[in-house]
Chain A
């Protein structure tokens, strides 16, 4: 469906590297996630896919159309939702939808079944100006507009950024439903917790792909024991862990520190002993299953 080969992209005449040697292959009907922090290159890659940017080198083909040469074909089969809310704020919900339907040479009626589930949620507000909608509603409207021409491939750039937790959950459920309609979906997100909802994910940082696989396989690649640690003095804990002989990584994750050791034989008792020696009290240590975020940190560290 999508073949990305050796894509490199720089800005300002090569001074700023956005993407370096990206290779990806996405199957038809897949829900593919591009996971990475801000500035990792997600938007650049998506803009190349949607023919908005030309890569410095490399080839991207979607359904055998070249994104540079056949950009006209690409624009017929792509549904795109930019990271920034990009609908007309001074047009009502209904007017926006009708406009985008006409622009793509279709009508709302024709493809209503596709957007019905999403649109019914915003239909009560169809007379309201798009600029006056809440964040979650805006995203639903933008998704409806991107879908209205029944695209083969849907490219969503950080659709859940700035959206409340409930709406985020709803949004992902909608994506699952669209996937079942056979639409290939590419979605980027800085939220690691959303990664597990994708079929496959690519972890991206500093314009380079760290790993591409199913979320579970990525977690399985994590070959170290991971401990969650909490004590009464978290600041001191971070400082002391840095003195731990076989320390690999220690990151603050909410209320706890996620800790890995270079030594495979390191266990909870050893760490507890070390912390007690350093006068920590209320020590809580548990070996846990790594999350995508842990994997990301690990890959990112190895990359350096």
Chain B
């Protein structure tokens, strides 16, 4: 155990003393997520809206004033039928429509709750999401004011509908994709480089002529990267949630568990690469071409798999990030549980076992 502890400690020294590794490990994830995030996001200001006030009472008037007074929204017109809403959206004159239900104030007083429907144009999904969030926030703050001098709390529910892109395809897709890419980079590429570095500098020779077992060398080598990768996952999720208001609908612990499985898969890949190469340069090249490019191009991260030629679609079957991205996308955006994503998880698990077995088998206890 002491041997193992010393090994891991040594590995951390390597990491913390190498500025380039540190930069890739911690700078890269943050830069990537911010880059992807800001390319998609823009600020909202003077968003054109239409209002259909079916109730026209004191409360709806107050809410309308509050929304228009916030500075984020600009009233284009008042409308009184459904057709007009769709026409306005089609012409592009509005980005959001608010519908107050009949007898709004009355419902609020009698039943203690009332409903507002929010319809947005989701062809720019990120903006649509932001608009909904802003509107809801204003409505909630209004309810808060109402409730401050009431014993029974009142509720105003907002129900949002996204037009044209109801499933929010591609919105926040950059988060699962970036996570897959960064985990591949950190876990597979950096580990393969870290192991081949020992070969290149000749320290592997000394490690081999020591009582260390192969498993101790491998686990000692990758253990720090498991920890760092998990930190990366948490950082990315935190950034996505705090800066880009990304909702995580499903279970956070399931998300992290699946990510850890993917980390193990990537580490096994990294070890496998290091067993077939003897220098850092080759390891990096193989990682780049065999791992990073498929992760970006064939995993469904940027290009939808359904639109690819048949041959490429077949090829994606063996691309591990595909399963990871599909699984965490479902968890994050749809709130799916394990029963729904178990197929992806099973494939990842199987891949991990095969890769790990292969790399332990191929890891040389001698120099040739």
Contacts and interface: CB of A to CB of B under 8 A. Distances in A.
A85 interface: yes
Nearest to A95: B13
B10 A99 contact: yes
Interface string B1-15: 011011101100110
A187 to B, nearest CB: 16
A127 interface: no
B150 interface: no
Given A53-B366, A53-B368, A85-B202, A103 B207 contact: yes
A84 B210 contact: no
A54 interface: yes
B286 to A, nearest CB: 23
A72 B202 contact: no
Interface residues on B, range: 20 to 34
A214 B9 CA distance: 46
A91 interface: yes
Interface residues on A, range: 20 to 34
Contact of A89 (B9, B201, B206): B201
A32 B57 CA distance: 104
A47 interface: yes
B2 to A, nearest CB: 5
A76 B210 CA distance: 6
A92 to B, nearest CB: 9
A85 to B, nearest CB: 7
Interface string B191-204: 00000000001110
B2 A105 contact: yes
B39 interface: no
Nearest to A101: B6
A208 to B, nearest CB: 22
Contacts of B17: 90
B367 A52 contact: yes
Contact of A52 (B18, B209, B211, B212): B209
Interface string A88-125: 11110001001110111100000000000000000000
B215 to A, nearest CB: 13
B211 A103 contact: yes
Contacts of B14: 88, 90-91
A102 B5 contact: yes
Closest 9 CB pairs of A and B: A102-B6, A86-B202, A80-B209, A84-B202, A52-B367, A90-B17, A86-B206, A50-B209, A103-B210
Interface of B: 2-3, 5-7, 9-10, 13-14, 17-18, 201-203, 205-212, 365-368
